[in-house]
């Protein structure tokens, strides 16, 4: 491990067969909680640790992203997310996450050229879209089409080779927005719009989403900046569920395009990337501001499974720094588009105010998270809710690729294999069906 100041932790175990103390190495990170290394625990004690949702488990060592949930801090390679959102752009952040350092001018231009050389997808892949129902959820299309990329880049590829790993990550980062925009165009029956390599990443994406061959399309710089911010803020988030899925899938040596498809599948769920779509669905269900108290009461009722979507976070127990950046963007976008009178967006703003003052939410530190505001911005831009998680996937592909590449280059890397606490039937004997009562 990379840490130098070693300490140790002593764990004493008492059971029917054991009464002994065991010592484990403690490793310190540069910042954040230290870990004690239990890799030899099972060998020494015959016992596992039990931590089903990884509440106290570091699954890997990483140098990419740091989160301090208590302080509400998110750093990419050491840089605070607020500074990056204010002064950087998504391509530069992509370079930073992949390479560990910010690029100089020449490195940035070279990187941009490399990425734009990969923005088109194999023309044969466009046929695949026709196999989907028109009303298919775009995340289903993303899982399918990104997974299918593995069929185009597999046979002659050695994913243990760092040069080929790099090319795969460049392909993924460049092609994902093209595929995402195609999924949208397919769902509304419009022709696919090919990428424009002269446009920056967010502008190109909006162009592929909203341009049509029959008319000129002029982008709006306020919307492009908000889109770029959404991409920056969602680019990585250390070992969240989808990133852990990508790492676990990749740990078997699987094709990286298939691993990213697995990450997309995981991201789809409403407790993860599906939350911003769920926010809009919830606002639709609430309908009018006079019904907010009823839904706040339901969110507090332990017998009701309803939760306020877009509130709370597993790690940020103070505030979500990404939400603070996007709150500002949301107001800029609403002003630019002059849509403040929109019922749903007004409702969202009132819900935010009420929940921020409510004792239940204040006591539990349940603040609006990034998905609350990204949902509002995307809705105002005219992006349908079913596409929200797709945009999250476009951004997070950068983090997934950086984390996958880091894992592949880690000399201690092995196939991931959690164990379990078995509570099923002990061994028993099979009885033929004729003998069962």
Radius of gyration from C-alpha coordinates of the chain: 24
Chain-centroid distance of CA 341 in Å reads: 31
Q: Which of 228, 236, 320, 371 is catalytic?
A: 371
Q: Which is nearer to ligand CMC, 67 or 176 (CB)?
A: 67
Nearer to ligand CMC, 308 or 408 (CB): 308
Whether residue 377 contacts residue 222, with contact meaning beta carbons closer than 8 Å, is answered with: no
State the nearest-atom distance from the C-beta of 392 to ligand CMC, in Å. 8
**Pairwise CA distance, residues 305 & 317, whole Å:** 21
Structure tokens at 427: 């061994």
Q: What DSSP line would sit under 98-140, residue for residue?
A: HHSS---HHHHHHHHHHHHTT-S--GGGHHHHTTS-TTS-HHH
* 313 catalytic per annotation: yes
- Name the strand (E) or helix (H) holding 27: strand 19-27
- Indicate which residue of 313, 331, 342, 363 is catalytic: 313
| CB of 88 or CB of 239, closer to ligand CMC | 239
Q: Which is nearer to ligand CMC, 161 or 301 (CB)?
A: 301
Helix then strand then coil, in percent of the chain rounded to 5, is 50, 5, 40
Decide: 208 and 195 in contact? Cβ < 8 Å.
yes
User: What three-state secondary structure class fits 56?
Assistant: coil
Q: 225 or 237: whose CB is closer to ligand CMC?
A: 237
In angstroms, give the least distance from the CB of 322 to ligand CMC: 8
Question: What is the number of the residue whose Cβ is closest to ligand CMC?
Answer: 312
Q: Taking the complex as a whole, how short is the minimal distance between the CB of residue 373 and ligand CMC, in angstroms?
A: 11
d(CA 278, CA 170): 31
**Cα(364)–Cα(64) distance, integer angstroms:** 29
For residue 395, count CB atoms less than 10 angstroms from its CB and return exposed for 0-12, middle for 13-18, buried for 19 or more: buried
- Kindly state the smallest distance separating residue 148's Cβ from ligand CMC, in Å: 26
User: Is-contact 170 114, C-beta < 8 A?
Assistant: yes
Is residue 371 part of the annotated active site? The answer reads: yes
Q: How far is the CB of 369 from ligand CMC (least distance, A)?
A: 4
What residues contact residue 222 under an 8 Å CB cut-off, 6+ apart?
332, 333, 336
Give the shortest CB-372-to-ligand CMC separation in angstroms: 7
Query: Are 150 and 183 within 8 A, CB to CB?
Result: no
Residues making contact with ligand CMC (CB under 6 A):
237, 240, 271-272, 275, 299, 307-314, 364, 366, 369-371
Q: Name the residue nearer to ligand CMC (CB basis): 212 or 297.
A: 297
Find the DSSP H helices in 251-342: 256-267, 275-286, 292-300, 321-337
* Catalytic residue list: 313, 371
């Amino acid at each position: 491990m990379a840490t130098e100041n070693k300490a140790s932790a002593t764990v004493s175990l008492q059971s029917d067969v054991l009464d002994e103390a065991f010592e484990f190495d403690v490793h310190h990170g540069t910042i954040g909680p230290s870990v004690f290394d239990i890799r030899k625990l099972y060998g020494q004690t015959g016992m596992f640790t039990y931590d089903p949702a990884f509440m106290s488990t570091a699954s890997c060592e990483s140098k990419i992203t740091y989160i301090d949930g208590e302080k509400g801090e998110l750093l990419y390679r050491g840089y605070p997310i607020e500074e990056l959102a204010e002064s950087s752009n998504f391509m530069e952040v992509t370079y930073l996450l992949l390479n560990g350092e910010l690029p100089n001018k020449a490195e940035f231009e070279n990187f941009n050229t490399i990425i734009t050389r990969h923005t088109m997808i194999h023309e044969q892949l466009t046929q695949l879209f026709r196999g989907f129902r028109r009303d298919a959820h775009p995340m289903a299309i993303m899982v399918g089409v990104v997974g299918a990329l593995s069929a185009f880049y597999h046979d002659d590829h050695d994913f243990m080779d760092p040069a080929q790993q790099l090319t795969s990550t460049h392909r993924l980062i460049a092609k994902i927005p093209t595929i995402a925009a195609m999924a949208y165009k397919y769902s509304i029956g419009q022709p696919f719009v090919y990428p424009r390599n002269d446009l920056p990443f967010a502008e190109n994406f909006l162009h592929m989403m909203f341009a049509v061959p029959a008319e000129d399309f002029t982008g709006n710089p306020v919307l492009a900046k908000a889109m770029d911010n959404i991409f920056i803020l969602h680019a990585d988030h250390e070992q969240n569920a989808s990133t852990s899925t990508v790492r676990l899938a990749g740990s078997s040596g699987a094709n990286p395009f298939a691993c990213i498809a697995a990450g997309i599948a995981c991201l789809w769920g409403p407790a993860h990337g599906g939350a911003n779509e769920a926010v809009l669905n919830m606002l639709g269900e609430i309908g009018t501001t006079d019904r907010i108290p009823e839904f706040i009461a339901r969110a507090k009722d332990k017998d009701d499974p309803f939760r306020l979507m877009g509130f709370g976070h597993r790690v940020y127990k103070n505030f979500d720094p990404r939400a603070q950046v996007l709150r500002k963007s949301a107001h800029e976008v609403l002003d630019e588009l002059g849509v403040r009178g929109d019922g749903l967006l007004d409702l969202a703003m009132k819900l935010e105010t009420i929940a921020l003052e409510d004792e239940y939410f204040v006591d539990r530190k349940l603040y609006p998270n990034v998905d609350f505001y990204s949902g509002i911005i995307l809705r105002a831009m005219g992006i349908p809710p079913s596409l929200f998680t797709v945009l999250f996937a476009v951004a997070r592909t950068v983090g997934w690729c950086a984390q996958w590449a880091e894992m592949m280059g880690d000399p201690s890397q092995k196939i991931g294999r959690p164990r379990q606490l078995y509570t099923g039937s002990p061994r028993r004997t099979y009885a033929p069906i004729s003998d069962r009562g």
